[in-house]
Amino acid sequence: MGLTDTPSPERTLLVADSFRVRAHDGVAEVRGLAHHLARFRGSALAAASASPDSRPTPQEVDDFSASALPRIAAAGAGFPRLELWRDTGGAMLSLALRPSPPLRHEISLTSAVRPFGQPTPQTKGPNISAYAELAHRLGGEVLLLDDAGRAVEGTTTSLIWWKADGTGWYAASQDRVSSITELLMRNIAQDIGVALCPESRTPAELAKLEVWAVNALHGIRPVVSIDGLESARPDPDRLAQYRAALDREWGAVFP
Read off φ and ψ for residue 19, nearest 5 degrees. Answer: -160, 155
How many structural domains does the chain have?
2
Q: How many C-beta atoms lie closer than 10 Å to residue 255's C-beta?
A: 6
- Judgement on whether residues 211 and 92 belong to the same structural domain of the protein: no
- Judgement on whether residues 124 and 90 belong to the same structural domain of the protein: no
Q: Strands 229-230, 196-199: parallel, antiparallel or unpaired by DSSP?
A: unpaired
CA distance 204 to 229: 8
The model's pLDDT over 199-216, given as tens digits with 9 standing for 90+, comes to 999 999 999 999 999 999
- Judgement on whether residues 121 and 73 belong to the same structural domain of the protein: no
Q: Is residue 254 part of a domain?
A: no
DSSP state of 78: B
- Judgement on whether residues 57 and 79 belong to the same structural domain of the protein: yes
Q: Which of 63, 96, 129 is the last residue of a domain?
A: 96
End-to-end C-alpha distance for the chain, whole angstroms: 28
DSSP state of 141: -
> Which pLDDT belongs to residue 38?
98
The model's pLDDT over 39-80, given as tens digits with 9 standing for 90+, comes to 999 999 998 766 666 578 899 999 999 999 999 999 999 999
% of the chain beyond a pLDDT of 70? 93
CA distance 210 to 161: 6
What range defines the domain where residue 187 resides?
107-248
The model's pLDDT over 85-99, given as tens digits with 9 standing for 90+, comes to 987 767 899 999 999
Lowest mean pLDDT among 34-43, 48-57, 136-145: 48-57
DSSP state of 26: T
- Judgement on whether residues 244 and 178 belong to the same structural domain of the protein: yes
Q: By the 8 A CB rule, do 54 and 48 touch?
A: yes
DSSP state of 94: E
- Judgement on whether residues 112 and 226 belong to the same structural domain of the protein: yes
Q: Is residue 101 part of a domain?
A: no
Helices (H), the chain: 33-50, 58-75, 128-138, 180-192, 203-206, 236-247
- Judgement on whether residues 158 and 224 belong to the same structural domain of the protein: yes
Q: By the 8 A CB rule, do 32 and 19 touch?
A: yes
- Judgement on whether residues 115 and 85 belong to the same structural domain of the protein: no
CA distance 11 to 126: 11
Chain mean pLDDT for the chain: 92
| CATH classification of the domain holding 41 | 3.30.470
> Residues 100-109: what's their mean pLDDT?
97
Q: Is residue 102 part of a domain?
A: no
Q: Which of 96, 115, 148 is the last residue of a domain?
A: 96
- Judgement on whether residues 160 and 197 belong to the same structural domain of the protein: yes
Phi-psi category of residue 166: left, alpha or beta, with phi > 0 → left and psi -120 to 50 → alpha:
left
- Judgement on whether residues 83 and 159 belong to the same structural domain of the protein: no
Q: By the 8 A CB rule, do 176 and 129 touch?
A: no
Q: Which of 76, 96, 116 is the last residue of a domain?
A: 96
- Judgement on whether residues 92 and 186 belong to the same structural domain of the protein: no
| CATH classification of the domain holding 183 | 3.20.10.10
Q: Which of 126, 174, 180, 135 is nearest to 16 (CA)?
A: 126
Query: Sorting pLDDT into bands at 50, 70 and 90, what band is 3?
Result: very low
Which residues lie closer than 8 Å to 10 by C-beta, 6 or more apart? Answer: 87, 88
Please give the single-letter amino acid code of residue 88: T
DSSP state of 176: S
Q: By the 8 A CB rule, do 96 and 45 touch?
A: no
> Which pLDDT belongs to residue 86?
86
The model's pLDDT over 168-189, given as tens digits with 9 standing for 90+, comes to 999 999 999 999 999 999 999 9
Total-model pTM:
0.93
Please give the single-letter amino acid code of residue 93: L
